[in-house]
């Protein structure tokens, strides 16, 4: 089990916020913690090392420094995909399924999830285009929650990570509550 968190905002001091958000889900991975922060986004990752123990650190950044990925899960067919990507002249420096996601996004873009077999939730920041691409497996085995307001867009493996962001509104939506309770 690993955990991912991130947010897009104009917040100036993203580092303290993303650190608190990532620490909120420390139980999801005590082996390592990693961050990526720029003027638009902050990404955090908690790692439980299973595959490629020495080289699977996250966030993982492409060679041209434009694509950044954080990932929770397991891609069952990553070796097949790696072979296919190598045939298309992608070079790998690790044996991790995370790097397959990185190169897979470079090759297939938003169609990447259609190629994947496994349980996963990931976020990919395209620094060149300033776009965030998030996906999870069809069954939601690996959770991916999100929150959007006028000030911020957040995502995380667990909702409780949002509590650490100062722009998260902790209000009860009574309209939705009525729908859920069928009142």
Q: Where are the domains of the chain?
A: 3-73+117-181
- CATH among 3.30.1240.10, 3.40.50.300, 3.60.20.10, 3.40.50.410 for 3-73+117-181: 3.60.20.10
pLDDT digits (tens, 9 = 90+) for 58-81: 999 999 999 999 999 999 999 999
Catalytic residue list:
2
Instruction: Tally Cβ neighbours within 10 Å of residue 134.
Output: 16
pLDDT at 30: 83
Question: Is the pLDDT confidence value at 182 over 90?
Answer: no
CA–CA dist 36, 67 (Å, integer): 11
């Amino acid at each position: 089990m690993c955990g991912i968190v991130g947010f897009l905002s104009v917040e100036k001091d993203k580092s303290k916020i993303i650190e608190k958000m990532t620490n909120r889900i420390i139980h999801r991975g005590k082996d390592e913690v990693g961050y990526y922060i720029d003027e638009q986004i902050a990404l955090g990752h908690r790692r439980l090392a299973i595959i490629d123990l020495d080289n699977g650190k996250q966030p993982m950044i492409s060679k041209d420094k434009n694509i950044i990925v954080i990932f929770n899960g397991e891609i069952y067919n990553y070796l097949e995909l790696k072979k296919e990507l190598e045939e298309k002249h992608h070079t790998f420096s690790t044996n991790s399924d995370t790097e397959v996601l990185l190169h897979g996004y470079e090759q297939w873009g938003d169609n990447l999830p259609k190629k994947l077999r496994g349980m996963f939730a990931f976020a990919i920041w395209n620094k060149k285009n300033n776009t965030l691409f998030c996906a999870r497996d069809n069954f939601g085995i690996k959770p991916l929650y999100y929150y959007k307001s006028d000030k911020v867009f957040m995502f995380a493996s667990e909702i409780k990570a949002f509590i650490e962001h100062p722009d998260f509104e902790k209000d009860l939506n009574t309209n939705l509550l009525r729908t859920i309770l069928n009142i």
